[in-house]
Amino acid sequence: MRLPAQTAGSPQIAAKPGAAQAPAQAPAQAPEPAPGPGRGAAPHGGLEDRIARFATIWSRAIFPVTATSLTRVEFEQHLVPLARTLTDALHARRFDAGIAQKVGAELVAVHCTDPEALAGTLGVIESYLVLYCGSPTPDSPGTEGAEESRSRCARLQHGIAAGFARALRERTLREQEAIARSALTARSDAQQALHASEERFRAVFEGAAVGIGIADLDGNVLEANDALLQMFGGLEGHVRSRNVSEWGHPDDTPHVWRMYGELVRGERESYRVEKPYYRHDGTVLWTNLTVSLLRDADGLPQYQLALMEDTTERRLLNLRLRYEATHDALTGLPNRTLFFERLEKALSAAGDSRFGLCYLDLDGFKAVNDSLGHSAGDRLLVEVADRLQSCATGPGEVVARLGGDEFVALTTGPDTEEKVTDLAVRILSALSTPIRLEGRELTVRGSIGIVEGRARERTPAEVLRSADITMYRAKAAGGNRFEFADAEADARAITRHGLTNALPAALERGEFFIEYQPLVHMHDGSIHGAEALVRWSHPQYGVLGPDRFIPLAERTGLIVPLGRWVLEESVRQARNWQRQLGGASLRINVNLSPTQLHHPGLVADTIAVLEKSGLAPGALCLEVTESALIGADDELLEPLRRLAALGVDIALDDFGTGYSNLANLRRLPVSVLKLDRSFTQGMQQQPADPVDVKIVEGIVALAHSLELAVTVEGVETGAQAAQLRALGCDTAQGWYYARPGAPDRIHTLSLSDAVPTAS
């Protein structure tokens, strides 16, 4: 069999299956024939086989340009019936070109719509259809004859092309129609969505809990929702058809209207402020207001949209909370917090502004509280607060309660030197009218510390501290008076503060030491014992006496470890003396502070110290000041009673200064009265003050009748000593015998049998 002429020049093409060749140039570049007889040779096998191979060639030619989702194999399977249809048409008795049109349409149906797919198909049919499928058997040329086959093949190609084109056009039309339809649908969907969104907006607008209003750029209100109307009191006319500019309020922050101007001019997109409005009934509505600019499609400002949240109640609550946080619940006066704010403001005032501050503390308020009860105390404070408030009514004047019975009054301005003195005088005189309480007339007095000065020189804390220090000075000077702050007194107080802070480290570093002052038997001048007196060897201030630091140690609680150290050290020292002096019964007196009295470890600590040193309890005398025992109940006295039961002596120190009830002496577990130095001083002059003589005589008689020994303090002269001896005092202590000194000095003293000192 001969090769058809048309295929003679077909170039060799890659056999790579599926490789994108150029079927468009077919028939000149038809794909390689399917495996079989090879190019130029007539294919062997049955017709079905050859049809299948033709389909393979066809699919190789056009699959690469097909936009189908079928795989190559599936696509080929799809072409097989088409190849068969074409073969049938080739062999049919009556040729029907319409069959070919269906094949063309079928190609379009499987997405072979690319023009190259059509060209490739036509090329493959041109080159291989007759070759592979032209005869029913490989060897028989078929009934139609070669010429007929060629002609049919050409008509089949035309038919395929026509069917392809029509199908493609129809498909395009269908697609266009679908696009148009969906565009139409989309448009109506959009309209519906718009409608729905408008509906939604309406629903939100009407039902919103926040007030929503729309106004034009001139400020005319166009729309307002219900919530907004309700906020304004429910009157529509009060909101709609009004102009935004009518809603100014004196409490508007200055930038509100500036931002409004910027917004309506299109210079800002939105602003948010807290803004008050007047309702039609004159009440005030507070809102959190957010105003946004609405622009049209071209971006030009069109409307303003206001969202308002009613914050009136929250604001009131905040104001109330703020009031409660800044005012004293009892008296209604500003409290410490608010006063600090005011003072801070006064102290940061510009120009030559000055301030004057009165710091008042009531004298003896504790006694009122203790004797009449706390509710009476409270009523007294309320009355005092009222009176103070009536004293400070001038501009820039404030009264506050700092706590307890402490009040402050502040005055500001250019001439506070005079004003603050007037204020203090007014306060003292306002207090001087007795207050009626529980049917009694109570006289209230107070001590005032005044600080006056220029603004911007001190902090509020510094001013209050100075005023507090000064107030204490007024109190120490007898109370019911005012004192002006002075830098030196402040410095002393500040030193006190520094000392307080340095105390703990001082104890750790061993900066304390003890001096011993002998106690002498009056009748023979022999040494009875010594009182331990603590001192602080301060690295900066030198040796400090107990009056400088014991009260500070008391206040901070450090007195407990310090007192324990003194006890331990002096008991050990007493034991040493006893050993050195061959068992002489030298006694040691140790002072106890009120805080130590309350400390639960007092008894156990004392016993432990005695046991450790081996000193007999009877050689120890604990001195307790009279004032510490005034009003002492059994609970407080219990530890002292237990110590007394062990044999420890208890002395009532500074007796005669605490105005204690003499009858009370019987209750106390004391065995010694130490007469305060003030009585001794009365004996200094010659002749001695007869009243003091009488008092001492009486006390000694009373003490002896209660089996108490009497020690006198502060004996400085021989005359005093003689007088006190004559009055029956048992032991004495004072510079006349010896000043407090180092422990080894007690030897010289005892050996010389208490020879009076030279000084």
Q: Point out which residues bind Mg ion (CB under 5 A).
A: 591, 623, 653-654, 713
606 binds, among ligand C2E, Mg ion, none (CB under 5 to 8 A by kind): none
User: Tokens 């565009």 identify what position?
Assistant: 183
Near ligand C2E by CB under 6 A: residue from 106, 405, 653, 692: 653
**Alpha-carbon span 547 to 496, nearest angstrom:** 11
User: 214, 111, 212, 91: which is closest to 156 by C-alpha?
Assistant: 91
550 binds, among Mg ion, ligand C2E, none (CB under 5 to 8 A by kind): ligand C2E
Smallest distance, ligand C2E to C-beta of residue 737, A:
8
Q: Is 17 in the site for ligand C2E (CB under 6 A)?
A: no
Smallest distance, ligand C2E to C-beta of residue 738, A:
9
Q: If residue 319 lies in a helix (H) or strand (E), which one and from where to where? A: helix 312-326
Number of residues located near ligand C2E, criterion CB under 6 A = 25
CB nearer to Mg ion: pick between 95 and 736: 736
Smallest distance, Mg ion to C-beta of residue 675, A:
9
Q: If residue 363 lies in a helix (H) or strand (E), which one and from where to where? A: strand 354-363
Q: Is 591 in the site for ligand C2E (CB under 6 A)?
A: yes
The token duo for 737 is 């015998």
Per-residue contact track with ligand C2E, 541 to 580, x per CB under 6 A?
A: ----xxx--x------------x--x--------------
Q: Is 658 in the site for ligand C2E (CB under 6 A)?
A: no
User: Tokens 């002596």 identify what position?
Assistant: 649
Smallest distance, ligand C2E to C-beta of residue 520, A:
11
Q: Taking the alpha carbons of 648, 653, 658, 662 in that order, is the dihedral positive or negative?
A: positive
546 binds, among Mg ion, ligand C2E, none (CB under 5 to 8 A by kind): ligand C2E
**Residue-wise burial string across 692-729, b where 16 or more C-beta atoms lie within 10 A, e elsewhere:** bbebbeebbeebeeeebbbbbbbbbbebbbebbbebbb
**Alpha-carbon span 743 to 215, nearest angstrom:** 96
User: 299, 223, 215, 210: which is closest to 264 by C-alpha?
Assistant: 215
Residue type, 430: A
Smallest distance, ligand C2E to C-beta of residue 420, A:
37
Smallest distance, Mg ion to C-beta of residue 659, A:
16
Smallest distance, ligand C2E to C-beta of residue 677, A:
6
HEC secondary structure over 39-107: CCCCCCCCHHHHHHHHHHHHHHHHHHHCCCCCCHHHHHHHHHHHHHHHHHHHHCCCCCHHHHHHHHHHH
Smallest distance, ligand C2E to C-beta of residue 590, A:
7
User: Interior CA angle at 528 toward 522 and 530, to 5°?
Assistant: 115
The residues with which 732 forms a beta bridge, in sequence order, are 520, 712
Cβ(417)–Cβ(438) below 8 Å: no
**Residue-wise burial string across 215-234, b where 16 or more C-beta atoms lie within 10 A, e elsewhere:** bebeeebeebbbbbbebbee
| Residues from 687 through 746 that contact ligand C2E (CB under 6 A) | 713-716, 733-735, 740
Near ligand C2E by CB under 6 A: residue from 310, 328, 483, 654: 654
Per-residue contact track with ligand C2E, 659 to 688, x per CB under 6 A?
A: ------------------x-----------
Q: Is 517 in the site for ligand C2E (CB under 6 A)?
A: yes
Sole window of 203-211, 587-595, 661-669, 750-758 interacting with ligand C2E (rule: CB under 6 A)? 587-595
**Alpha-carbon span 471 to 455, nearest angstrom:** 21
Smallest distance, ligand C2E to C-beta of residue 593, A:
4
735 binds, among ligand C2E, Mg ion, none (CB under 5 to 8 A by kind): ligand C2E
Q: Is 539 in the site for ligand C2E (CB under 6 A)?
A: no
Binding residues for ligand C2E, per CB under 6 A? Answer: 517, 532-534, 545-547, 550, 563, 566, 591-593, 623, 653-654, 677, 713-716, 733-735, 740
